[in-house]
């Protein structure tokens, strides 16, 4: 495992060394499991079912565990932290995908204040996944909880996130530490001081999608 040491270390955001809760929950989820894949599956299922919300990019794993919500980056970071805490190498995969325009249209159609605050949607968006090593590196996407996925299906909003294919867009970044990228990405947010209001309004609509997914 010496060649994997950088994928087992804590960082400022991947803060399992400073969070007894991360270690405690991870060990509880994997208690009695010997096989690495079983351990990973238990951690993955746990993190995946945290509610998907719009949030900041620069979020510690311990904060995501406490709040039990997050977007792609924060939920991926928690999966990486919990995996590393039980000795499973994990890293970050960052890349561009085509923007979820149908989702944007649905959300802004429910509340025009969101459209006024956010302006025109981008055509691309950043996406963050985890790569975890068991028998080899495998990709795991914890972004969407099941009720949210079911709601998107019922609304006819595509689940697939299509990677952007262009010579102008660099290929995926594979990172042992997510800290610098997340700090830079947080600084490039276009919402100037209004993000908390916009997040709150948009997350109300995401909760509606979850309720639709649950048949309510």
Is 142:82 a contact under the CB 8 Å cutoff? no
Instruction: Kindly tell me the sign of the dihedral angle through the C-alpha atoms of 139, 182, 11, 53.
Output: negative
> Is residue 88's pLDDT more than 70?
yes
Using one digit for the tens of pLDDT, what is the confidence trace for 141-176?
A: 999 999 999 999 999 999 999 999 765 656 799 999
Query: Quick one: average pLDDT of 50-63?
Result: 97
SS3 at position 52: strand
Confidence of residue 23 (pLDDT cuts 50, 70, 90): very high
Beta-sheet pairing, 90-98 with 173-175: antiparallel
Using one digit for the tens of pLDDT, what is the confidence trace for 96-132?
A: 999 999 999 999 999 989 888 877 778 899 999 999 9
Query: Quick one: average pLDDT of 198-216?
Result: 95
> Is residue 95's pLDDT more than 60?
yes
Mean pLDDT (the chain) is 93
Beta-sheet pairing, 51-52 with 69-70: parallel
> Is residue 49's pLDDT more than 90?
yes
Question: How far is residue 201's CA from residue 207's CA, in Å, rounded to a whole number?
Answer: 10
Count of other CB atoms within 10 angstroms of residue 55: 20
Contacts of 33 (CB under 8 A, 6+ apart): 39, 42
> Residue 118 has what pLDDT?
77
Q: At what angle do helices 195-213 and 101-110 cross, to 10 degrees?
A: 100
Question: How far is residue 12's CA from residue 181's CA, in Å, rounded to a whole number?
Answer: 12
Query: Quick one: average pLDDT of 43-71?
Result: 98
Confidence of residue 192 (pLDDT cuts 50, 70, 90): low
| Residue 51: exposure state from Cβ atoms within 10 A (0-12, 13-18, ≥19) | middle
The model's pTM: 0.94
> Residue 193 has what pLDDT?
65
SS3 at position 118: helix
> Residue 117 has what pLDDT?
81
Query: Quick one: average pLDDT of 9-36?
Result: 97
Confidence of residue 204 (pLDDT cuts 50, 70, 90): very high
Domains in the chain: ranges and CATH: 2-213 (3.10.620.30)
């Amino acid at each position: 495992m010496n060649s994997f040491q950088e994928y087992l270390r804590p960082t400022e955001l991947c803060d399992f060394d400073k969070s007894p809760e991360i270690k405690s929950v991870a060990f509880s989820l994997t208690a009695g499991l010997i096989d690495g894949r079983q351990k990973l599956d238990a951690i993955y299922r746990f993190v995946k079912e945290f509610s998907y919300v719009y949030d900041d990019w620069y979020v510690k794993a311990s904060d995501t565990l406490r709040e039990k919500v997050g977007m792609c980056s924060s939920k991926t970071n928690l999966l990486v932290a919990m995996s590393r805490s039980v000795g499973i190498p994990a890293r970050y995969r960052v890349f561009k995908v085509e923007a979820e325009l149908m989702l944007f249209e649905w959300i802004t159609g429910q509340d025009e204040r969101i459209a006024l605050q956010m302006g025109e949607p981008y055509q691309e968006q950043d996406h963050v996944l985890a790569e975890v090593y068991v028998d080899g590196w495998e990709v795991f996407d914890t972004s969407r909880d099941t009720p949210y996925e079911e709601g998107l299906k019922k609304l006819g909003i595509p689940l697939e996130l299509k990677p952007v294919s262009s010579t102008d867009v660099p290929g995926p970044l594979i990172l042992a530490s997510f800290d610098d990228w997340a700090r830079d990405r947080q600084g490039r947010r276009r919402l100037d001081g209004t993000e908390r209001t916009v997040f709150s309004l948009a997350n109300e609509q995401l909760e509606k999608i979850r309720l639709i997914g649950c048949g309510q």
